[in-house]
Structure formats: C-alpha cells, structure tokens
Amino acid sequence: MHASARSNARSHDREWHGVAHRVLKGSIPKPLVLSCAARTAHNPPWLHDLRNQPRRQLKATSRRKRAPSPDPATDSDPIESETRAAKPPPPKKPRKNAKHSAQPNPDARRRGVRRDESHGARHNPGSTPRGFKDCQYWRLSDQGPSSACRHRPNSEKDPEDCNGDDELEGEDKEKWILNTGLMKKLEAISERHCRPVASGEFKKPFKLTITRPGCKSETSIKPGEKSTRNGPVGKLLQTWYTNATVSGYGDVREQVTKVDKNVRNAREIPATEFAVPQELVEQIQKCWDEHFFPNTGVRVEPYKIHLYGPGGHFKMHRDTPEKDLVGTFLVGLGDTTTYHDEDDGIKVDGQHMKANRGSWCAFYPDVPHSVAKIRGGHRAVIAFKLFRARSGQETTMSKEVRQSIKELVDQMQPPFGILLSGKYCIGTTEFSGFDALLLGCASKREDTDVHHLPVILESQAEWGSYSEDDPEEDYEESCESSVYPFTEGHIDALLDGKEHTHVDHPDGYAWLENVKDVPFYSADFHRSTVLYQDRTDETCNYLGNEAQAWSKHSIYLSYALLVLPKGATSKKKK
C-alpha cells in the first residue's frame, strides 16, 4: 500500500498471515514484509532469502465511507506499519489540526516495522479501521490467487446488509451472498463437532514400567487416585523428576534444539526407557476416534514422559510437525503442584487442565499450548504421538456430520476458495478434522475440480481523511488483501536466485496458470492463520517441543482449498 502525498491525516496498517508459525523471521517474498527489524543468523538454506514476489497474487480493494469517530487519538503519528491482531479494536480518529507526516519513517516502512518510541518514531496503538476487522472475503485477480477484504462470513451481519459487497454486481453478488451464508452454517458444524481439543478420564487402571536408572519402577496408574506431595504418588514424582534428563525446546528460527530455562524448564524420560501395555494404546486409539473427525484410525507411538517441578514451565508453543502426524495425546501420571497465579496446569486452546492420574487431553499438533509456572510440587504426563493409519471405520455420528457438510458444500457456487482451519507441513496431501471432511465432500462433486495448496495472506488497510485541516472531512477507509501461493516451486525458484517474479508451473500446481477472480472464504479465520508481529513475546510462532533441523516438514503452513468449475483450467489454457 502506498501513502498518498495529499493525505496528511491518513493512517495505514498491515497484517501478514498465512505461512504459519514455522516460517522464519525476516524470510518473506516481496512485497510482503514481516514485522521484524533483522534476520536471524542461522536461517535454514531453503528459507533464508525469500525476497522475490511469487508470480501470481490476487488483489482487489474495497473502499467505503463512514461517519467519523468523535474520539481523538493520542498525540502521535497515525501512519504506521504495525502488524495487528485478527480482531483489532475500533478506530481512533487523528486529533484535529495535529501535525502528521505524509509518510511513515522510511526505514520502518521499508521493513514493515512499527518503530518503538525509543528508536525515534512514534506510533498510534489501536488505530485500526472497523473495516479491517471485517476482512474475510478475498478474490483472485489477473495476477493469480489473491483477494479483497470484505465482510466476515461469521459476522453477525446479514450478508445482504454488508457494505463489503459494494463492488460485486449481478450474478457475482448473488453467489457471494449464497456462499457466505453457507460458510456460516459450515462454521457452526465445525464449532459443534470438530473441536481441536478434547479431554476426559480413563475408567480402567494401567501399568507403567520405567527402566531409566534412578527412576526404575513398575506402577499401577489408577484413574482418580489422589496425589499429595508427601504421599506415595508425590514421592514417586519427585524421584522421577530428580533423575530425569533436562528437556530442550525447538528454536524454529535457527532450526536447533536448545536448553533455556526462561523458555522451558522441564525434564523428560524418553520412550526407550519406559513401557505401557497394549490395552492403553487401544484405549487411546478409541478415544481419538470418538472425539475427532474423520475417525478413520490412528497409529499411536509413545513419545516421552514430561516432568515439571518447582519453577517449571513451558511458554506457549506448538508441537513440532511431522508427516502424517495428526495429534498429540497426554495421559496424566500425577499432579501435586501449586501455581503462582490462577492459571494452573497445561493450557490448551484456552482450557486449563491438571495432570491428575488417569486424566487425558488430546489435540491437533498445530494447537498452541503452554504449561504455567509451578510454585511447588511436581506433575508428570505421558505424551503420545498419533499418526494417520487409515484403518478405522466411521461412526454413525461421523457419517451424519459428513453428510451435513456435503449438503452445504454441494450448494456452494464455484469458483471459490476456502482457507483451511488447520496448519500443515509442506507437501501435505491429507488433512485432519474439519479440513479433511471439507476436502472429502468437495472432491465428490462431479461438476468441479478441487485443488489445495499452501498460501500466505497479506492485508493492508488505509483510513482517515484526505484533508489536512479537517480530519472528519471525507473520512474514508479501505482494505486490501493479497493471497500468494507458497508452493515448493516458488521456494525452489527463490533458492535458485531468480530475480524475476515469474514461476513456470510449480511442481504439481500447473493448474494455477490463468486462474483468476476466485473469491475466498474462511470458516475459522483465527485458527486458519497466524499473525506476524515483531514482539518477542509471541513465542508460540517460533517454538516447538524439539527441532528437526533443515527438514521441510519442520514448518507449518496455512493451506487453502480451491474449487473450480469442471475443466475451467484446461479451457483457459486452450
């Protein structure tokens, strides 16, 4: 977005979403710029210098006027380049007759950084336009899969009353209204049946055998058994913790596993030093199929026993992705902890859970979670990795949910794109949960061709008055978004040092040629994307439980589903 020379009171904002939490800081294709000031010293080779713009980007702009806000802003420069939360606060008007620069700090603008006051540039926190919050409709243009921000499908507004469709006419507008209404229904199904987290308690006890020196024991884990610090469970947890090895964490920026108690203070026992019975494995498989869709079977692998003691904690993070990894399953072994604040135990998707014996918690690997800082006592869980097995049979409930989704997807008018709710490593062909159901239902349509690909999304907003004297005169706001393909072909082209923006038929994505004017929707925009910020406390975007150095499967990407009329791509080629 370019600031107008006549706009002394115009404000700017940029959001950058999509390449999810594993993309390294500073590694962005032009013109997308992460909100950061410097590169890291050890970027992996395949993401070190993504400076070139991918070939096809979609763009469109919506503009609308609204009544000016009576609230004055603080005495600061309203022109800013700060990345923002997906649901920013309402706009604040620049103060009348305040002096503003027509351009932001050039250095900050170039890098997409909101400079702190300590660095000499002022900023106006919270001054984001209301229209920016409603960005949820994207469309492809002549340059490829991209988008224009419009009304949120899950907004309380009725699609027909939304001002965001003011550039759509006739059949396009009718399709948008229909598809937006259907997306709201799909979102309701997702929230009701396809939650990313589940928890409960086993009914039967199981045996745990630990062979690690200093921790050797054969224990019966009885669900509901009380854990006290001075009791048998508390003493056992303390013994395990004392003799376990120190845990590290995966630094995704540098692609290495580090030990830093400020990030993670914990200990662990690897799977090679403990054993659980097959009956527990089967219980875990059953639990997953009962609570997660589509329930076609999983392969369960014991991973580690995680132990936390006094001062222990783990900052917000996501589990390291792997090919065919669909979930993480935690089983409580005991919890005698007290905490420094009201938030106790592990926090997963806003839920707080303790590690009581026989309790369990399961979630998708891309779901952020953390462990609160412990004041006293110990806690322990067994962590299992769950991989796709394709061996199960759907339950009656799963079939009913799938049928409901199919009926809605069949009514949607192509062409359209959907941002998938989960995040996956590059090269993923099978998805999890609601995304898998969407793909399966869309693929059964006989009148469309269905594709999926990794994408990134940039949103930019501009708002304010063009008048230097009266900030309330002709107040206007606009929002522009661009969706870029982020395929292996694009990455390879950048690594080859190509300075041009043209990428001929990225491997496996030749159908992208000449695809344009496709609207995109999202059932869960918050979960579909990650918002990049220059704040160092946003650690979950750069932390994992361990690193898989230089592996393309060690990053998460946002994916999109693209549904085109049957044969549309081939016809355009001819």
- Phi/psi class of residue 550: alpha, beta or left (left: φ > 0; alpha: ψ in -120 to 50)? left
**pLDDT band at 570; cut points 50, 70, 90:** low
Site of tokens 């469970």: 233
User: Does residue 93 surpass a pLDDT of 50?
Assistant: no
Q: What percent of the chain has pLDDT over 70?
A: 55
CATH number of 197-388: 2.60.120.10
> 267 and 372 in contact (C-beta within 8 Å)?
no
CA distance 361 to 348: 9
> 346 and 330 in contact (C-beta within 8 Å)?
yes
User: Does residue 243 surpass a pLDDT of 60?
Assistant: yes
Give the model's pLDDT for residue 181: 92
Site of tokens 């009304």: 151
Two tokens at 475? 């107040």
> 197 and 349 in contact (C-beta within 8 Å)?
yes
Selection from 492, 501, 498, 486 nearest residue 22 by Cα? 486
- The CATH 2.60.120.10 portion of the chain extends over 197-388
Highest average pLDDT, of 181-195, 204-218, 422-436, 441-455, comes from 204-218
Q: At residue 350, what is the residue type?
A: G
What are the pLDDT digits (tens) for 160-212? 444 444 566 788 888 889 998 999 999 899 888 888 899 999 999 999 999 99
Site of tokens 């507008």: 173
> 378 and 309 in contact (C-beta within 8 Å)?
yes
User: Does residue 519 surpass a pLDDT of 90?
Assistant: no
Q: At residue 113, what is the residue type?
A: V
Give the model's pLDDT for residue 378: 95
User: Does residue 437 surpass a pLDDT of 70?
Assistant: yes
**pLDDT mean across residues, the chain:** 68
Site of tokens 């706001």: 477
What is the SS3 string spanning 440-470? HHHHCCCCEEEEEEEEEEEEEEEEEECCCCC
- The 10 Å Cβ neighbour count of residue 303 is 19
Q: What is the mean pLDDT of residues 15-19?
A: 45
Q: What percent of the chain has pLDDT over 90?
A: 28
Class of residue 178 by CB neighbours under 10 A (exposed 0-12, middle 13-18, buried 19+): middle
pLDDT top residue among 126 and 280: 280
Taking the whole predicted model, whether its pTM rises above 0.75 is answered as no
Two tokens at 15? 């959001």
- Phi/psi class of residue 112: alpha, beta or left (left: φ > 0; alpha: ψ in -120 to 50)? left
What are the pLDDT digits (tens) for 332-348? 999 999 876 666 788 88
Give the model's pLDDT for residue 272: 96
3-class DSSP state for residue 192? helix
- Which of 84-98, 161-175, 368-382, 519-533 is predicted least confidently? 84-98
Q: Report in angstroms the alpha-carbon separations of 14 from 53, 57, 110, 128.
A: 17, 16, 12, 10
What are the pLDDT digits (tens) for 127-153? 333 333 333 334 433 333 333 333 333
pLDDT top residue among 567 and 59: 567
Give the model's pLDDT for residue 406: 95
Q: What is the mean pLDDT of residues 372-386?
A: 94
Selection from 269, 254, 284, 262 nearest residue 212 by Cα? 269
Two tokens at 67? 């009544």
DSSP string, 363-397: E-TTS-EEEPPEEES-EEEEEEEEEE-------HH
What are the pLDDT digits (tens) for 464-500? 776 677 767 776 766 666 677 777 777 676 666 654 4
Q: What is the mean pLDDT of residues 11-20?
A: 46
